[in-house]
Amino acid sequence: MRDPHVFDCVLDRIGAPRALAAAWGRLPSHATVDAPVAAGRFPVVIISQGSRGYRQSQSVQVEELVSHGYIVVSLDQPGAVGSALLAYGTRIPYRGASVLKPLIDQSIEPQQTAPRLDADLMPEGLASYLAADPRAVLDWLATAAKRLRASMDLERVGAMGMSLGGYTTSQWCTGDPRVRACLIMEAPMTVDAITRRFTVPTLWMTRSADDMAAEGWPAVEVRHVDGTQRAAFRAATGGAWYVTVDGLFHADLTDAPYGAPGLSLLGMTSRRAGGRVREIMRTLTLDVFDRTVRGSDRPSTLDAPPWPDVHIDARR
């Protein structure tokens, strides 16, 4: 882990010592450092991370995509992720929920009195501000060093994000024609995204409103997430899948259950989080991008999920 401070705000939130981050940074994975670049041109998936996240997160899905011939690009968004370490050594910590939450909500349910980011009024909220980052990353990839650019097929680009990353992805992929498909994992949809409609194939991976409420979410948060996701799905014109998995907590759809199984004892993950949920995440992620970005017509879990607790509604 290049920046040991990425977990600080999460550890502070649960009252755990920051020294625990060193152990998390040593967790084994299936990745190989400095692996040789394979020959050929590969589709690209760009990941926007969640609030308090870090760019190495969603590793279960990243490893699955990379091992099947995708290039995955993940970004830290300073102030929104747990910690962003810049190239020249400056570290930008998480700005805090008291700063970010009003700005996030303004892009979901706009209020007449606009929130501020430092001294600037933000009448449209934070969504366009955050969505400019993956757009800029894709611009940069098109001009990257020849060796890197030669490996990327930028005619086949997918986008994905979890929680705040899904919010960012909704704003970006409904406004950038270069994006061919989206995977959104339990996130509030911006009013812009719902209005513009998802015109590219999109999969929402989430849980029911009842499960959100059972975790203790207030009604306004359930409305912001469940309500807007379902509205976006109903309005989608590019083909869509709405996937719900029974009995999950929000953090079950992240790396948290793998990195810290004990979080279930604190009520931050469910007691059923683990290998089965990772299998669902891994398989659906690969299947949706294979179908939508690669154009595969093979039967997949999108057509008949093999798990009894997974439910898929589809729009063609």
Single pTM value for the model: 0.92
pLDDT in tens, 120-134: 999 999 999 999 999
pLDDT in tens, 201-212: 999 999 999 999
- 238 CB-near residues (< 8 Å, 6+ apart): 198, 199, 200, 201, 202
Residue with tokens 């995440």, as numbered in its chain: 281
CA–CA separation, 254 vs 261, rounded Å?
Answer: 12
Identify the residue with better confidence: 20 or 51.
51
pLDDT of residue 240: 97
pLDDT of residue 316: 81
Identify the residue with better confidence: 56 or 16.
56
- What does DSSP say about strands 152-162 and 42-48: parallel, antiparallel, or unpaired? parallel
Question: What's the mean pLDDT in 64-86?
Answer: 90
pLDDT of residue 216: 95
pLDDT of residue 32: 80
| Share above pLDDT 70 across residues of the chain, in percent, rounded to a whole number | 90
Answer for the pair 188, 167: CB distance below 8 angstroms, yes or no.
Answer: yes
Mean pLDDT score of the chain? 90
pLDDT of residue 24: 63
Answer for the pair 55, 162: CB distance below 8 angstroms, yes or no.
Answer: no
Longest dimension (CA), the chain: 54
Contacts by 23-27, CB closer than 8 A, 24 or more apart = 24/259, 24/260, 25/1, 27/258, 27/259
- Residue 22 pLDDT level (bands cut at 50, 70, 90): low
| Share above pLDDT 90 across residues of the chain, in percent, rounded to a whole number | 67
- Residue 4 pLDDT level (bands cut at 50, 70, 90): low
